[in-house]
Amino acid sequence: MPAKKDDRSAAPPLPEPLAVPVADSHTHLDMQREQGTVEEALAKAASVGVTTVVQVGCDVTGSRWAAETAAAYDSVWAAVALHPNEAPRIVHGDPDGWSRQGARQPGGPAALEAALAEIDALAALPQVRAVGETGLDYFRTGEGGVEAQQLSFRRHIDIAKRHGKALVIHDREAHADVLRILDEEGAPEAVVFHCYSGDAAMAKLCADKGYFMSFAGNVTYKNAQDLRDAVAVAPLELLLVETDAPFLTPVPYRGRPNAPYLIPVTVRAMAAAKGVGEDELGAALGANTARAFAY
């Protein structure tokens, strides 16, 4: 039986294909398996001009899966890390931390060090193009978890630099501390602000540092004028696009499952905000992704 028109669980239709191929710089295929297989997801994406996806790990298990999947598919690149909310969960058993595995018993600092050692080993693999998503997330984390998050972030920066990989940053309500710690530790050659969440002023700061800014489907939301303003002022050569699927589905499909094949919707919204043609933007996005995740 076909899905009803208002079925919020139904996958959105295929958008008009892009003429210039681009990459989804941040997705979670392991969280999209209810929508089909990896092969199906990649085929749908390729059919609309999304020819590469960066599969991002958020914990040790997810990072292993990302590396294995990237080894199996040429069009998948891996990023490996502990999500910022994973660090306090490991150390404190924080029930408000983020993990697909649910609440766990606290493991203490030694458990965090062991998890970071596994991320370090995975980061050495050739199919792993980035260390991330790491960074800081103060939206859910209380004061007790900040120390673990910042320690984990500093360690991920070191891992990225030692292996010559891009650093993919998750920054939620923590702009000042993220920028400060990058300055204190010394940023890797390539830094990507995933799901960029700052305003135009912060975009100028990132541009001065040469940091890439990756925009997701929320750039299409009615209340996201700050993001569109950031796209407008960010240099073309520092822009990336992503889905963060299955999250942040772009308008007009907000609330329905997101996937890499919906990248064209976001590209077109970014082109409008930037005041450039979608082909010009697509060419820049493709070149920027290759440069950011070069290895």
Question: pLDDT digits over 201-243, tens only?
Answer: 999 999 999 999 999 999 999 999 999 999 999 999 999 999 9
Average pLDDT over residues 129-138: 97
Residue 146 has pLDDT above 70, yes or no: yes
In this prediction, residue 256 has a pLDDT band, given cuts at 50, 70 and 90, of: very high
- Residue 9 forms part of a structural domain: no
- Residue 12 forms part of a structural domain: no
Domain count, the chain: 1
Whether the model clears a pTM of 0.75, i.e. scores above it, the answer is: yes
Q: What is the pLDDT of residue 1?
A: 40
Residue 169 has pLDDT above 90, yes or no: yes
Q: What is the pLDDT of residue 8?
A: 75
Interval 2-23: pLDDT, tens: 445 557 778 999 999 999 999 9
- Residue 18 forms part of a structural domain: no
The stretches of the chain forming alpha helices (DSSP H) are: 38-47, 60-72, 86-92, 108-123, 143-163, 175-185, 200-209, 225-233, 263-274, 278-292
What is the pLDDT of the chain when averaged over all its residues? 93
- Residue 271 forms part of a structural domain: yes
Q: Is 232 exposed, middle or buried (0-12, 13-18, 19+ CB in 10 A)?
A: middle
Residue 100 has pLDDT above 80, yes or no: no
- Residue 259 forms part of a structural domain: yes
- Residue 51 forms part of a structural domain: yes
**Whole-number Å distance between alpha carbons of 143 and 22:** 40
- Residue 226 forms part of a structural domain: yes
Average pLDDT over residues 116-143: 95
- Residue 14 forms part of a structural domain: no
**Whole-number Å distance between alpha carbons of 45 and 242:** 12
**Which residue range(s) make up the domain with 286?**
27-292
CATH of the domain at 215: 3.20.20.140
DSSP helix, strand, coil percent of the chain (3-state; round to 5): 45, 15, 35
